[in-house]
Amino acid sequence: MRWPTSPQSRASPSTKPTCIWARTSRRAITPSGGSFARYRITERVDRLHELGFEVDEIQLVPHADGEHVHLKTRVADRNYHTNRLRDLTGIQAAENQARQLLSDLHYYEMTHSGSLPSNRALAAVRWRVEAFEPMLARLAQRIPPTDDPLQAYCDLLHHRYVISARRQQDVGTEAAFTDWLAAGQPGYPLLVRQ
């Protein structure tokens, strides 16, 4: 999402919340009928999920012309990734941590596609038992006792991304762990999406 950058918008501190409010509360107009309307609904819900919001209610209100419907969504809260991770794995994490852990779950599913059950919940349990918990235990042995192992895991995931992007190839979690240790266990600032 991009915030407006005009001089007027930079001068007003209330612009950013207004933009988020507009994104979460606006009505979308879509042609009525069939799969195109369903596609637009899915697209709208996905955009709200990307912002971290859960969708609580969806209303389709027919337009007077009969050819369009107004798509009205009501968001519940801004903990979509936290709730999704908890529902799938039982892991409680902050929103940004949950986003990274869900991404790692997807990475695990991609790299183990032939050996995982088709049931998403079962695949999530395998990820937790085979990838997440063993690495979390290894990290807990390497970090100071005052540091959060879950945050260290997220830092490792970000490090895996950074070195994979630098090398322009997937390096895998184990290689990233070795490199992360050699680099002095760098932490990474939270990225703000714009």
In the predicted structure, residue 151 carries a pLDDT above the cut 50: yes
Model pLDDT for residues 76-120, shown as the tens digit of each residue: 667 778 888 999 999 999 888 998 899 899 888 887 777 777 788
- Residue 49 in tokens: 């999920």
In DSSP terms, 29 is beta-bridged to: 70
- The percentage of residues in the chain with a pLDDT greater than 70, rounded to a whole number, is 63
- Sequence length of the chain is 194
* Domains: count for the chain: 2
Domain that holds residue 35: 7-75
Does residue 170 or residue 42 have the better pLDDT? 170
Burial of 81 (0-12, 13-18, 19+ CB in 10 A): buried
Same-domain check for residues 57 and 91: no
Same-domain check for residues 122 and 163: yes
Does residue 72 or residue 11 have the better pLDDT? 72
Residue 115 domain flag: yes
- Residue 186 in tokens: 């760098």
In the predicted structure, residue 127 carries a pLDDT above the cut 70: yes
Same-domain check for residues 17 and 57: yes
Band of residue 68 on the pLDDT scale cut at 50, 70, 90: low
Model pLDDT for residues 51-64, shown as the tens digit of each residue: 767 666 666 666 67
The structure's pTM equals 0.62
Same-domain check for residues 55 and 88: no
> Is the CB of residue 191 less than 8 Å from the CB of residue 99?
no
Same-domain check for residues 90 and 68: no
Phi/psi at 59 (5° precision): -125, 135
Buried b (16+ CB within 10 A) or exposed e, 15-53: beeeebeeebeeeeebeeeeeebeebbeebbeebeeebb
In the predicted structure, residue 24 carries a pLDDT above the cut 70: no
Same-domain check for residues 70 and 104: no
